[in-house]
């Protein structure tokens, strides 16, 4: 069974630009969550999508948005990039039940210059 | 607001030693607690998930326990190997089962 796939693996963007990250969950998983990992703040929850609907949202500004498609693939968009957005962005999928473990991809490393 | 703390931040042990990693959380109203490992430059690998109604889970050389009343979880690694070297993260879910609050991790080095 293929794991969670995130593309691209690395991105370099300039301040003010926008970026879109992609995540393909494990086959059959309907829940996709996004996390940001930085050395200073650690891992922080961004949002979760289930069956194309945002179910939960973390404490991030509106520049961070996402969506989920009917095949459960998800995209995350960050507009008007800031230097502080440089981070490893991790996507996790799960079957969606309360006791389903989260399975993470290898992440997209975003560098904003 | 849930807060998760992991002690120690770093640990170095000789190969073959049994070891315990600690995790504490402030809000006992959790859905579950999950342990992960992260290798440098990689994503997270799920190790064990303990449901809120459970006390422990085992997988191979790993055993994780959960004590909600004291807000603590431990990860026990038996007969450590150099391949166990990684950062170990615990995460508690509260509010939503998939909204995890992570600790800052314990960086484990197992010396051959």
Q: Report the DSSP pairing between strands B10-14 and B106-111.
A: parallel
CA nearest B102 in A: which residue? A43
d(CA A93, CA A69): 14
List pLDDT tens digits, range B22-68. 999 999 898 899 999 999 988 999 999 999 999 999 999 999 999 99
Find the CB nearest B96 among A43, A55, A107: A55
Q: Is the dihedral of CA A93, A34, B105, B99 positive or negative?
A: negative
Q: From the candidates B42, B43, B102, which should be mutated to test the interface with A, based on the most A CB atoms within 10 A?
A: B43
Between chains, do A43 and B51 touch, taking CB under 8 Å as contact? no
Residues of chain A with pLDDT under 50: none
Tokens of A90: 């991790």
- Percent of chain B residues topping a pLDDT of 90: 86
Give residue A48's pLDDT: 94
Give residue A100's pLDDT: 85
Tell me whether residue A3 is exposed, middle or buried, using C-beta atoms within 10 angstroms of its C-beta: 0 to 12, 13 to 18, 19 or more: middle
Residues B3, B26 contacting (CB under 8 angstroms): yes
CA nearest A39 in B: which residue? B104
* Nearest by Cα to A44 from B76, B77, B4, B51: B4
Residues B56, B73 contacting (CB under 8 angstroms): no
List pLDDT tens digits, range A71-90. 999 999 999 999 999 999 99
Residues B110, B18 contacting (CB under 8 angstroms): no
d(CA A108, CA A93): 15
Between chains, do B98 and A43 touch, taking CB under 8 Å as contact? no
Find the CB nearest B43 among A56, A100, A106: A106
Find the CB nearest B46 among A43, A56, A101: A101
Helix (H), strand (E), coil (C) string for A84-101? HHCEEEEEEEECCCCCCC
CA nearest A5 in B: which residue? B43
Would you mind telling me the total number of residues written for chain A in this entry?
Answer: 113
């Amino acid at each position: 069974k293929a794991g969670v796939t995130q593309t691209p693996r690395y991105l370099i963007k300039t301040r003010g630009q926008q970026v879109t990250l992609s995540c393909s969950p494990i086959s059959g998983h309907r829940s996709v969550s996004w996390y940001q990992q930085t050395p200073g703040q650690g891992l922080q929850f961004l949002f979760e999508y289930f069956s194309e609907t945002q179910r939960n949202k973390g404490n991030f500004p509106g520049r961070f948005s996402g969506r989920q498609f009917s095949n459960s693939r998800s995209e995350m968009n960050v507009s008007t990039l800031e230097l502080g957005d440089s981070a490893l962005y991790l996507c996790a999928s799960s079957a969606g039940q309360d006791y389903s473990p989260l399975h993470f991809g290898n992440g997209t490393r975003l560098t904003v210059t | 607001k849930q807060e998760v703390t992991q002690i120690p931040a770093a640990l170095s042990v000789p190969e073959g030693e049994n070891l315990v990693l600690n995790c504490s959380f402030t809000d006992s109203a959790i859905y579950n607690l999950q342990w992960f490992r992260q290798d440098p430059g990689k994503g997270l690998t799920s190790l064990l998930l303990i449901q809120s109604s459970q006390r422990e889970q085992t997988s191979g050389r790993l055993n994780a326990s959960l004590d909600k009343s004291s807000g603590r979880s431990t990860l026990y690694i038996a007969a450590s190997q150099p391949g166990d070297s990684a950062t170990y993260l615990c995460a508690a879910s509260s509010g939503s089962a998939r909204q995890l609050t992570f600790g800052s991790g314990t960086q484990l080095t197992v010396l051959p």
